[in-house]
Amino acid sequence: MQNTTYDFGLVGLGVMGRNFILNVADHDYTAFGYDLDPEKVSALIKEGGDKARVNASGDISSFVTSLSLPRKIMLLVPAGKIVDAVIESLLPYLSPDDIIIDGGNSFFTDTDRREAYLQSKGIHFFGAGVSGGAEGARKGPSIMPGGSRAAYKEVQPIFEAVAAKFNNEPCVAYMGPKSAGNYVKMVHNGIEYGLMQLTSEFYDLLQKGGQLNNNELHKVYTEWNKGDLQSFLVEISAKIFEKKDNLGQGQLVDKILDKAKQKGTGKWTSQNAMDIGIPIPTIDIAVSMREISALKQERVLASKKYERRTIDLEKKQILIEKAEKAMFFAFIITYAQGMHQLREASREYGYELRLASIAKIWRAGCIIRASLLEDIAKAFEEDKDLANLLLAPSFVLKIQDSVGAARELVAYAAENGIPMPGLFNSLSYFDAYTSERLPLNLVQAQRDYFGSHTYERTDREGIFHTDWS
Ligand code: 6PG
């Protein structure tokens, strides 16, 4: 007799999907998986052990009919056309009020389109960003669901059970209507790009400016991870530095080709920030750096054309201390830019985002988890209308304490030709954002000069145009 009472269905039994479904089953919910690949189906059945708790099939009809009503079906498949194809294949078997949740990194406008399409068919659909990689999926991810609140309520107990916990609070919260969940996850990934760029350029700085070897880098990042910089990305960097290469001598990190790939979420964050008019230059440059890294052949050629002067070595300990502060400064700026984008997107798209709640569910489970998020959550709890993190009193103090080190290292890196665009851009963003007056009056004058685009004045109301010639 077939068990028809599975609580949760999952489509896509790759590593993420398999781990997520096993996590669900660990929390007293029964779950059923579906994948076209028979090997993935048997792998899950084998790992799940008890078929009454975890089962799977490669047959869509038995998958759908095995789920209790309203069906809760989560998709963990690559973003794009596959999501639409899976939805189409499910549709003939669904009943009114069933719920489909897209747990992938789908582009937010795709989620809006799918929600409207499925609503016309009586099916609920919402996007839920899931962060934490394979381990997070298995042991507790951070989950960012959006869409219909009523549909989310049906899934809420399951998500709260499987999500990572921070001080016993689940790292999942309803983000807001429509594609709010996917949007928040997109910006999460933009911040992820920024922090990854920063952790890698400080590695470059310590290697070139202080001649630290991998063992020393391991120690430094391990120490940093006990202080202000405590974060998942600093923690795993420390571990990466000490990983031995099992195909050769030394540490693996030295053998990895310096060309970074990307799936698009960082680029989307930058593109959309431009669309809604919010500056996020640290994230933008992190995307550009992946692009520059991909131009390996050209870089090799160019490196031969331009001589680099020998680098002035810094005293290790002093460099390490300054680097810790400067990286902390740039981490703050990266989060500040991401939160600023979320704030504006909330207004633009009607997401009703609560920034404190977002910072809270990022405190554990996700890739950008960091102790700093506790302070970010507090800052937005104290002032939910805070325009920018840089205006929060507690952050003014943190910045005042760290900006000096950032300036010194920007100067040092520039002098010695060490590319640190994440730090440079963070500092310039800070200097611009905190400038009462910027030279953009000249830009306005130029626009009016060549294109009669008009300008406003500082001393009287109105719109003006001058015949400059
Ligand atoms: C996460 C990650 C995850 C994925 C990135 C990788 O939060 O768990 O962000 O979603 O690993 O999207 O992105 P790139 O391939 O673009 O680096």
**Residues 256, 290 within the same domain:** yes
Find, among 395, 422, 451, 365, the residue nearest to 144 by Cα. Answer: 365
Pocket test for ligand 1, best of 142, 195, 262, 265 (most atoms within 8 A of CB): 265
Within 8 A by CB and 6+ apart from 219, the residues are: none
Q: Could you tell me if residue 2 is inside a domain?
A: no
**185 CA: nearest ligand 1 atom:** 7
Q: How far is the CA of 290 from the centre of ligand 1 (A)?
A: 14
> 101 - beta bridge partners?
74, 126
Pocket test for ligand 1, best of 171, 191, 263 (most atoms within 8 A of CB): 263
pLDDT digits (tens, 9 = 90+) for 140-150: 999 999 999 99
Q: What Cα–Cα distance (Å) separates residue 414 from each residue in 239, 241, 407, 433? A: 29, 25, 11, 22
Which of 129, 160, 178 is where one domain is finished?
178
**Residues 276, 128 within the same domain:** no
Nearest CA to ligand 1 atom 17: 262
pLDDT digits (tens, 9 = 90+) for 312-321: 999 999 999 9
Check residue 386 and give its pLDDT: 97
Within 8 A by CB and 6+ apart from 88, the residues are: none
Pocket test for ligand 1, best of 15, 102, 131, 192 (most atoms within 8 A of CB): 192
**Residues 288, 139 within the same domain:** no
Mean pLDDT of the chain: 97
CATH code (residue 212): 1.10.1040.10
**Residues 155, 172 within the same domain:** yes
Question: What proportion of the chain, given as a percentage, has pLDDT over 70?
Answer: 99
Q: How far is the CA of 31 from the centre of ligand 1 (A)?
A: 25
Q: Is the pLDDT of residue 196 over 90?
A: yes
Active site residues: 185, 192
Instruction: Give the separation between CA 235 and CA 217, rounded to whole angstroms.
Output: 12
Is the Cα dihedral 163, 164, 166, 168 positive or negative?
A: positive
Q: How far is the CA of 132 from the centre of ligand 1 (A)?
A: 9
Instruction: Give the separation between CA 118 and CA 110, rounded to whole angstroms.
Output: 12
**Residues 205, 354 within the same domain:** yes
pLDDT digits (tens, 9 = 90+) for 287-305: 999 999 999 999 999 999 9
Q: How far is the CA of 189 from the centre of ligand 1 (A)?
A: 6
Q: Could you tell me if residue 1 is inside a domain?
A: no
CB atoms within 10 A of CB 297: 8
Question: What proportion of the chain, given as a percentage, has pLDDT over 90?
Answer: 98
**Residues 213, 111 within the same domain:** no
Of 149-153, 306-310, 346-350, the one with minimum mean pLDDT is 306-310
In DSSP notation, 296-307 reads: HHHHHHHHHHSP
Q: Is the pLDDT of residue 407 over 60?
A: yes
**Residues 241, 313 within the same domain:** yes
Nearest CA to ligand 1 atom 1: 131
**Residues 274, 411 within the same domain:** yes
Q: With bands split at pLDDT 50, 70 and 90, how would you rate the model's confidence at 3?
A: low
**132 CA: nearest ligand 1 atom:** 8
Q: How far is the CA of 263 from the centre of ligand 1 (A)?
A: 7
**366 CA: nearest ligand 1 atom:** 7
Check residue 1 and give its pLDDT: 44
**Residues 249, 375 within the same domain:** yes
Q: What is the mean pLDDT of residues 87-100?
A: 98
Q: How far is the CA of 276 from the centre of ligand 1 (A)?
A: 23
* Three-state DSSP class for residue 169: strand
Q: What is the mean pLDDT of residues 327-346?
A: 98
Q: Could you tell me if residue 120 is inside a domain?
A: yes
Q: What Cα–Cα distance (Å) separates residue 459 from each residue in 89, 436, 454, 456, 464? A: 64, 16, 15, 9, 12
Q: How far is the CA of 23 from the centre of ligand 1 (A)?
A: 20
Check residue 4 and give its pLDDT: 64
Q: What is the pTM of this model?
A: 0.97
Q: How far is the CA of 184 from the centre of ligand 1 (A)?
A: 13
**Residues 311, 399 within the same domain:** yes
Which of 153, 178, 203 is where one domain is finished?
178
Q: Could you tell me if residue 275 is inside a domain?
A: yes
Nearest CA to ligand 1 atom 7: 131
Q: Which domain holds residue 130?
A: 8-178
Nearest CA to ligand 1 atom 4: 133
**133 CA: nearest ligand 1 atom:** 8
**Domain count within the chain:** 3
**Residues 210, 354 within the same domain:** yes
Where does ligand 1 bind, in terms of residues with CB under 6 Å? 105, 131-133, 189, 192, 261-263, 265-266, 366-367
Residue 259 zone, left/alpha/beta (φ > 0; ψ -120 to 50; rest):
beta
Pocket test for ligand 1, best of 15, 105, 288, 361 (most atoms within 8 A of CB): 105
Nearest CA to ligand 1 atom 11: 133
Q: With bands split at pLDDT 50, 70 and 90, how would you rate the model's confidence at 309?
A: confident
Which of 128, 146, 178 is where one domain is finished?
178
Nearest CA to ligand 1 atom 5: 189
**266 CA: nearest ligand 1 atom:** 16
pLDDT digits (tens, 9 = 90+) for 239-268: 999 999 999 999 999 999 999 999 999 999
